[in-house]
Structure 1
Amino acid sequence: MKKVFLFFLASILIFLGLVYGLLFTPTGNSIVASYIQNSVNEKLTQADFKVEEFSLTTSKINFVANIDSNSKINISGDLALLSKSVDLNYEVNIKDLSKLEKFTNQKLNGSFFTKGILKGDQKLVDIKGISDIFESETNYDVKLVDFKPSQVNFLVNKAKIEKLLYTLNQPIYAQGLVNIDGKIKNANLDSLDGIIATIITDGKVNNNVVNTAFNQKLKSLISFKGDIVTNLEPNKAISKIDFFTTPANIFVKKATVDLKTMKINSDYLLSIADLSNLYDFTQTKMRGAINLDGNIEKTAKDLKVDGKSNLLSGRFNFNLVNDDLKADIKDIDLRKLTHMMYYPDFFSSKADANVAFNTKTQKGSIDAKLLNGQFLPNEFSTLINTFAKFDITKEIYEEIDLKSDIDKKVINSVINMKSKLTEISVPKSKIDLNKSTIDAQIQTKLKGIEFNTVVSGNLNSPKVSVDTTELLKLKIKKEGKKFIKKNKEKLKEKLKEKLREKLGAEASGQTADDIINGFRAFFGNN
């Protein structure tokens, strides 16, 4: 029995000696380093991982490795095998992230550096460090319980937006600074708890980059800043957002992200204090203010947005499902619309409209009704009054039908309108918002007289051309009637004198009356 015990004890000592020789001697360290290097390169088939230094004793460790000769990992410090605790310093220095594309499956640019300490045991590990990510001053503190994230605190100070975009291999759309203060009590999704505060300052859009990428014509400086407060709950991130830009401001009371499905539900308020600030985006001159509020729902497949606004003394509602937009407009004031768009003030009415538009193809239609319309004094009404002695501004058009087809920024329309004494139709009208031009043909029936009008040229000050042939006839008749009525007796006497000379005294009286009646018949019975 004694021999068996001695053999068993000797076997244990030999095993421990082999383990010690394998792990804690230079020869053993070399074998372990080679094993680590080969294992990493096998798992990361495209890797060029090389262990430069590896030294392990019962109380110390020193590990230095390179990835693709441009990234260094350094770990050194104390360890206690029996208590399973460590007190380590670490440093990761990557000089060129683009060389790691085969590991990240995405091209990254720039450099990355972090260093810190790792201290603890199998029950609790505390990792504290600093980093220069996105050229920031960042520090972090991560606590692991049973090797699972339990608490995460981090502070990112003055991260540069342009460096973030550059690192992610994106065009430098903007520049600015971002500060992030995060305190996460439990990093497990099912019991997530914490708060993250983000502040964006000194933001400026790089117009040249945006113009090239999105075919825009931005010229004015666009600045922005914002505050985002995100509360973390089990499986959810709930944010309140205040985002201020030169053209518009956006406010979100509650944006909820399901962290498992990544579904987003959010309210929003878009506030534009001065529509003239949108000119670079719309290439359309506008004025006034507008507030638009609604909801957003984003899933893996679909985007849904709705909104409403009290617009131009009326109501505006819309629904967007992916690329398809439908809008319902009620009771807007046409004069306020033309004022907002800097168009001539030529017509007064209330308007209802249904709009369908595809944002991808930029094609759609407008079906509108203008109610209780009335012409305002303008070049068109002045011409009619001059030739026909008719004040068209007193006519009321109870219901006007307007149908338009939209093809990008070209709008083709047909209009029909009728009052007690007039009937007007526009069989062809083309407005080109890109060129800011109009080309419209107007057919008018006025007391049985038909004439055409052409409106063309610059949309803000178009040229109005009226075919005055029929109007001149009407004018001649009216002027003739007035002249005959006023000078009837003188005309009779002069005609009688002329008739006496040619026809003789007996027939002259009767014939003069006949001639006067003939003139009256030509110019009308009045």
Structure 2
Amino acid sequence: MKKILFILLIVLISLSFFLFNDKGNEYLKPYLESYLETKLQRDMSVKIEHLNIDFRHLELDAVLNNLTKVKVAGDISLLSQSFDLDYKLTSNGFKNKQISFTNKIDINGTVIGTLNNMKIYGEGETLKSHINYALNIKDELINNIKVKINKADIASLLQLAAQPAYAEGKVDVDIDIPTFKEADTKGTGKITLYKTLLNEKTFKEALNIDLPKNTVLTANLNSKVSAEIFEVKGNIKSNLAWLKLNNTTYNVKDKKFIANYKLLAPRLSQLAFLTKQTLRGQLQVAGTLHLKDKHFFLKGSTKDLGGDTNFDYNGEKLNLSMEQVDIAKLLYMLHEQPYATGKLLAKVQIQDLNKLRGSYTLKTIKAKTIANTFKKDLNIDFGKDIAFSLDTKGVIASNLLHIENTLFSDIFQYRSANMVYNLNTQKLESFYTLEIPKLSELDTLAGKSLQGEVSINGEIQYDKNLTITGSTKSLGGSINFKLLKTVLSAKIDKVPVKNLMTVLSYPIIFEAPLVGDFYYDLVTRQGTLNSTLTQAQLLENSLTKLVKQIRGVDLTKERYNQTHFNAILNKNLINIDFKAKSKQALFAIPSGQINKSNNTINANYQIEVNNKDMGGKIQGNIAQPNISIDSSNYLQKKVNDVINSNISSDALKDLGLDKLEPEAIKNLLGDLFK
């Protein structure tokens, strides 16, 4: 508007030297319209509806872009080149290629002075608000600027700036600038932003930002203005974050902007639309922002994670350092449970953020797991806190992240020297080694006593689902396993049963290489084992001793080539099915159950030797169970015969009881048919 008035004054006063009559005025109209259009915006049209100029008076009515009416009238002096004019701007809006402004404009004002020294005053209605302004133009320099706008409409301001309707609210603007000529003389400015509601629909359409509903913004900014420097300080607050600006300056001469800021996000959970991840807690960052031309440098630091976290970013390079950051606080911010405590050291250097090229290092200090959290949330019971150290580093190039990891703990040692993660496809591949020197450290986790050691080599893959494969020969033979989602499957090939029983701390009752398939769901804790054994040999135990005494047959001397061992796992219960058959003997446990929680067994057994049978129960502690005989067709027939013949010595010998003491025979026969 000031530009329009200034050009109008210059042109109109110069025209006063022409002939001042009606015909002359009409003759001047098209030339004046053309001249004004060249001085104004290229897409702005000027239509002069009325023009009257003489030596002492000026009247002008014009229409800009067929929408805005300009009326100027007042006294002029061609001799002194002075004027005292009243002007009026009225419009219901205006439109050009860049702006479509639909707000009402109704402003009245005066222009007093000369072409070299004029004062402009005005007040009225625009931006759905009242505006009052004054300024002085002397020797082409603007000074003594005073502008006051009360509760201007934010949406209208955005429309005037050719911006989408990002917000609805009101703003006060109060500007008082004495001069731009003297560098030491400073003016003042104040902006007060009242409760302003951000439009989440517009943010989504224009910026693709999923802004939370009912996001409110307020601001209170104060500035000092001189010929070369703009200084700003104040607060911008919302229900999402607070921004405090201090010692913020803009140098007009070198066009350099420097801001000292403090940013507080009291509830990180509300910033998921930016972070694309659920966070919690608060974060306060303090730093500086430098802007010059198209270059900027952002720097910040925070202590909210414990220790020091610092970063800097220039639009291309990003550097991040974490010194003595608290692991538990970081896990809390990432919305994870407190699985571990300790400190973290990390450095991230991105040389080219657009091409994703850089490196990182990360290391833990005095870290340990929190056993209660693992047990409560993951149903994993380590029995105690486990000290561990994690050391990882990586290089990012061509959208590939190459990672080296080492994770050492009191339980295991994990190494992965060639992990590759594709940032485009989000696929991961890695070879690894896992060494567990003392399986006994996993007793609480396994729910039973373990022995020995194991070393595993395998591969980790991620492509929508996590797949872990591995193999080991630590137990003799080989075990190859695969973990897909929550299901663990394994193929066991010629692994000595003796070694498996030793690891599980179960009594060793037979020897044989085992071949089988194992399936187990880690979530439901249910699974199956189906296996066969070749050249199985029973080892001496209470049951084989009893059979040897009764039948005179040593089951440990037999070789059982038709053997299977199957199991169904359901949490702490294992239902077993075992059958071993040789040429002359059969030993079977058709149904049995092992309870891991109390380490007990309850099973039925069957034995046949040369078509002569016996059966019973195995009950109690699995290390030293009680064995009883429940039934035997063969023994029942023999006992009846013995009774009928008064138990002759030949019968006792035939039953294999001739070597037992009389009291033992009595107990055996007394319990046989209960």
TM-score bucket (shorter structure): 0.7 to 0.9
The equivalent residue for 1:135 is 306
Contact 1:248 1:273 in 2 (8 A): yes
Q: Does 1:34 align with 2:193?
A: yes
The equivalent residue for 1:267 is 431
The equivalent residue for 2:333 is 167
- Going from structure 1 to structure 2, the CA distance change for 1:63 and 1:388 (only over 3 Å counts) comes to same
Counterparts of 1:262 and 1:246, CA distance in 2: 32
The equivalent residue for 1:461 is 624
Q: Give, as a single letter, the amino acid of the residue that structure 1 aligns with 2:330.
A: L
Q: Indicate which of 281, 297, 302 corresponds to 2:445.
A: 281
SS at structure 1 position matched to 2:569: strand
Q: Indicate which of 477, 483, 488 corresponds to 1:314.
A: 477
Q: Post-superposition shift, 1:319?
A: 2.1
Matches within 5 A, 1:195-274: 195-274=359-438
Counterparts of 2:395 and 2:487, CA distance in 1: 33
Residues 212-266 of structure 1: per-residue CA shift (max 9 Å, x gap): 2223444322111110101111222221110112222221122222223322222
Counterparts of 2:248 and 2:304, CA distance in 1: 25
The equivalent residue for 1:48 is 216
Matches within 5 A, 1:115-514: 115-143=286-314, 149-188=315-354, 191-300=355-464, 302-467=465-630, 470=634, 473=638, 480=650
Counterparts of 1:220 and 1:162, CA distance in 2: 17
SS at structure 2 position matched to 1:344: coil
Contact 1:68 1:99 in 2 (8 A): no
Higher helix share: 1
Q: Give, as a single letter, the amino acid of the residue that structure 2 aligns with 1:420.
A: K
Residues 431-487 of structure 1: per-residue CA shift (max 9 Å, x gap): 222332211211111133210132111223222223586569599899628989xxx
Gaps of 5+ in 2: 1-10, 16-31, 41-114, 121-135, 148-172, 178-186, 204-210, 655-674
Q: Does 1:25 align with 2:188?
A: no
Counterparts of 1:175 and 1:49, CA distance in 2: 38
Q: Give, as a single letter, the amino acid of the residue that structure 2 aligns with 1:60.
A: F
Q: Post-superposition shift, 1:87?
A: 2.8
Q: Post-superposition shift, 1:353?
A: 0.6
Q: How many equivalent pairs are there?
A: 474
Residues 321-369 of structure 1: per-residue CA shift (max 9 Å, x gap): 3233321100111111111111112211111011233334333322211
- Going from structure 1 to structure 2, the CA distance change for 1:24 and 1:156 (only over 3 Å counts) comes to farther
The equivalent residue for 1:513 is none
- Going from structure 1 to structure 2, the CA distance change for 1:172 and 1:482 (only over 3 Å counts) comes to closer
- Going from structure 1 to structure 2, the CA distance change for 1:209 and 1:54 (only over 3 Å counts) comes to same
SS at structure 2 position matched to 1:162: helix
Q: Indicate which of 43, 46, 65 corresponds to 2:235.
A: 65
- Going from structure 1 to structure 2, the CA distance change for 1:275 and 1:18 (only over 3 Å counts) comes to farther
Counterparts of 2:588 and 2:141, CA distance in 1: 103
- Going from structure 1 to structure 2, the CA distance change for 1:29 and 1:239 (only over 3 Å counts) comes to farther
The equivalent residue for 1:518 is none
- Going from structure 1 to structure 2, the CA distance change for 1:56 and 1:426 (only over 3 Å counts) comes to same
Contact 2:222 2:232 in 1 (8 A): yes
Q: Post-superposition shift, 1:30?
A: 6.3
Q: Give, as a single letter, the amino acid of the residue that structure 1 aligns with 2:459.
A: N
SS at structure 1 position matched to 2:316: strand
Counterparts of 1:257 and 1:192, CA distance in 2: 13
The equivalent residue for 1:85 is 256
Counterparts of 2:467 and 2:336, CA distance in 1: 27
Q: Give, as a single letter, the amino acid of the residue that structure 2 aligns with 1:370.
A: L
Contact 1:175 1:204 in 2 (8 A): yes
Q: Give, as a single letter, the amino acid of the residue that structure 1 aligns with 2:480.
A: N
Counterparts of 1:327 and 1:403, CA distance in 2: 14
- Going from structure 1 to structure 2, the CA distance change for 1:82 and 1:402 (only over 3 Å counts) comes to same
The equivalent residue for 2:267 is 97
Counterparts of 2:537 and 2:223, CA distance in 1: 93
- Going from structure 1 to structure 2, the CA distance change for 1:56 and 1:459 (only over 3 Å counts) comes to farther
Counterparts of 2:287 and 2:648, CA distance in 1: 100
Counterparts of 1:53 and 1:303, CA distance in 2: 52
Counterparts of 1:205 and 1:480, CA distance in 2: 70
- Going from structure 1 to structure 2, the CA distance change for 1:423 and 1:371 (only over 3 Å counts) comes to same
Which is worse superposed, 194-203 or 54-63? 54-63
SS at structure 2 position matched to 1:397: coil
- Going from structure 1 to structure 2, the CA distance change for 1:127 and 1:101 (only over 3 Å counts) comes to closer
Contact 2:493 2:516 in 1 (8 A): yes
Identity value in percent = 22
Counterparts of 2:426 and 2:277, CA distance in 1: 21
Residues 282-307 of structure 1: per-residue CA shift (max 9 Å, x gap): 1121011111221222233x222211
- Going from structure 1 to structure 2, the CA distance change for 1:83 and 1:38 (only over 3 Å counts) comes to farther
Q: Post-superposition shift, 1:128?
A: 3.0
Counterparts of 2:330 and 2:392, CA distance in 1: 18
Contact 2:366 2:388 in 1 (8 A): yes
Q: Post-superposition shift, 1:135?
A: 1.5
Q: Give, as a single letter, the amino acid of the residue that structure 2 aligns with 1:480.
A: D
Q: Post-superposition shift, 1:56?
A: 5.6
SS at structure 2 position matched to 1:170: coil
SS at structure 2 position matched to 1:83: coil
Contact 2:367 2:387 in 1 (8 A): yes
Counterparts of 2:222 and 2:198, CA distance in 1: 15
Counterparts of 2:542 and 2:176, CA distance in 1: 100
Contact 1:388 1:471 in 2 (8 A): no
Q: Give, as a single letter, the amino acid of the residue that structure 1 aligns with 2:507.
A: P
Counterparts of 2:590 and 2:648, CA distance in 1: 30
Q: Give, as a single letter, the amino acid of the residue that structure 2 aligns with 1:179.
A: L
Residues 182-220 of structure 1: per-residue CA shift (max 9 Å, x gap): 2221111xx222110000121122222332222344432
Of the two, which has the highest radius of gyration? 2
Q: Post-superposition shift, 1:63?
A: 3.3
